[in-house]
């Protein structure tokens, strides 16, 4: 443990925090010793004024107040541009259940917020794969998948166009075993096994993923450059159905956000780096990967307030998600990038974190 801690401090002393781990050689550095920036709802394009008016109508305010309250005034460039020009290494994609058992629509909410820079999961995967193959030494890209469940709004809207659009939607589907199987099949059809980093890859021969992290830790960064890995945004019932009866995640393709003592524990979603700053640092020191959010619902951009962003960066969370990888002049100069504009840097908490080989779980 002392040797690993000394190595981490040596990296800090050598100035690697100001270097770019995307391009630097990283002997001995592990995946969980890196910090990157990514995007929330990476596919999202701002909806047209008509859809915004529908979402703010009395019909929606009464039937789905959370939908009416959403802040949708932000847009992301194409996934390839996010990965290349902006140097992002974490993406988030919202999926709706498959109607054909083959592919999955990518959008936020049907009708009310449905403009996307990529139409389907397979199209997104092909775009990511093409970029990845052209940049084989990239820091692994985390693709976070949120599985959406559409609920039918009560009543009927006064607006005839909205009424017609809602009536044309397919009947809602649940995320069940067949949907999960189709989801994993779609990923494996577009990405080769050598493109992927899965929970089983990290688990190896250990009884559980949690045990593997407590003994061996995360793989070396040099061993997993060029890989893509997936995490399930959903918690609760959808996550538990995905894990199946054994609940240990064995054989599953997606990392899941679970409590630290769970056998499938490896990656955690902790969205508030201000309220949960100490919790994030504790999880990082214990060897877990953590994703947090630097901003939410346009609040930080409108106020040009970097407080949450700075706490996110200092927390040691490995993936800092934002709606503003570059500023939107309609709001302010607010944007989220790593210091020096690098793609990946040494995790700021790694020097004081416990060794991966002796993490306390």
- Say whether pLDDT at 305 is over 70: yes
Span 206-216, average pLDDT: 96
Span 44-56, average pLDDT: 97
Report pLDDT for 64. Answer: 95
| Residues 346, 16 contacting (CB under 8 angstroms) | yes
Q: In the chain, what percentage of residues exceed pLDDT 70?
A: 92
Report pLDDT for 25. Answer: 85
Report pLDDT for 273. Answer: 98
Confidence of residue 12 (pLDDT cuts 50, 70, 90): very low
| Residues 170, 87 contacting (CB under 8 angstroms) | no
**Eight-state DSSP code of residue 268:** E
Long-range contact set of residues 265-271: C-beta below 8 Å, sequence gap at least 24: 265/209, 265/210, 265/213, 265/361, 266/199, 266/202, 266/209, 266/210, 266/213, 267/231, 267/291, 269/144, 269/231, 269/233, 269/235, 270/317, 271/296
Report pLDDT for 26. Answer: 87
Span 118-130, average pLDDT: 98
Q: Where are the domains of the chain?
A: 20-346
Mean pLDDT of the chain: 91
Give me the residues paired with residue 320 across strands: 37, 292
**pLDDT tens across 56-96, in order?**
999 999 999 999 999 999 999 999 999 999 999 999 999 99
- Say whether pLDDT at 134 is over 90: yes
**pLDDT tens across 277-300, in order?**
999 999 999 999 999 999 999 999
Closest CA to 73 of 55, 59, 57: 55
Q: In the chain, what percentage of residues exceed pLDDT 90?
A: 88
Report pLDDT for 238. Answer: 97
Q: Of 25-29, 58-62, 217-221, where does mean pLDDT reach its minimum?
A: 25-29
CA-based diameter of the chain, in Å?
69
Tokens encoding 67: 């939908």
Dist. CA 218–CA 20, nearest whole Å: 20
Report pLDDT for 24. Answer: 85
- Say whether pLDDT at 153 is over 90: yes
* Topology annotation, domain 20-346: TIM Barrel (3.20.20)
- Say whether pLDDT at 359 is over 60: no
- Say whether pLDDT at 122 is over 70: yes
pTM: 0.91
Give me the residues paired with residue 319 across strands: 36, 291
Report pLDDT for 189. Answer: 98
CA triple 195-198-200, angle to 5 deg: 135
Round the CA-based radius of gyration of the chain to a whole number and report it.
Answer: 20
Report pLDDT for 350. Answer: 72
């Amino acid at each position: 443990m002392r040797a690993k801690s000394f190595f981490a401090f040596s990296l800090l002393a050598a100035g690697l925090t100001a270097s770019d781990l995307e391009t630097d050689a990283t002997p001995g550095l592990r995946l969980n010793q890196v910090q990157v920036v990514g995007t929330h709802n990476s596919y999202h394009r701002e909806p047209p004024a008509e859809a915004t008016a529908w979402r703010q109508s009395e019909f929606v305010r009464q039937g789905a107040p959370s939908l009416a309250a959403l802040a949708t005034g932000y847009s992301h460039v194409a996934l390839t541009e996010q990965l290349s020009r902006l140097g992002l290494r974490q993406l988030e994609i919202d999926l709706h259940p498959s109607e054909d058992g083959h592919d999955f629509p990518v959008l936020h909410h049907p009708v009310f917020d449905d403009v996307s820079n990529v139409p389907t999961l397979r199209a997104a995967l092909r775009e990511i794969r093409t970029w990845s193959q052209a940049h084989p030494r990239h820091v692994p890209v985390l693709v976070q998948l949120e599985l959406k469940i559409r609920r039918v709004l009560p009543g009927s809207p006064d607006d005839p166009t909205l009424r017609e659009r809602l009536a044309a939607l397919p009947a809602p589907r649940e995320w069940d075993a067949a949907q999960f199987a189709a989801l994993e099949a779609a990923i494996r059809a577009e990405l080769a096994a050598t493109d992927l980093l899965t929970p089983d890859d990290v688990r190896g021969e250990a009884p559980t993923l949690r045990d593997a992290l407590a003994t061996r830790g995360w793989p070396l960064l040099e061993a997993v450059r060029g890989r893509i890995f997936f995490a399930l945004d959903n918690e609760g019932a959808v996550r538990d159905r995905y894990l199946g009866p054994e609940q240990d995640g064995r054989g599953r393709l997606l990392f899941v956000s679970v409590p630290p003592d769970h056998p499938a524990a490896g990656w955690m979603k902790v969205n508030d780096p201000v309220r949960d700053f100490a919790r994030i640092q504790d999880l990082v020191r214990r060897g877990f990967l953590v994703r947090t959010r630097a901003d939410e619902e346009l609040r930080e951009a409108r106020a040009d307030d970097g407080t949450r962003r700075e706490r996110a960066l200092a927390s040691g969370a490995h993936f800092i998600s934002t709606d503003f990888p570059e500023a939107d002049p309609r709001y302010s100069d607010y944007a989220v990038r790593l210091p020096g504009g690098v793609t990946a840097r040494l995790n700021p908490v790694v020097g004081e974190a416990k060794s991966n080989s002796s993490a306390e779980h």
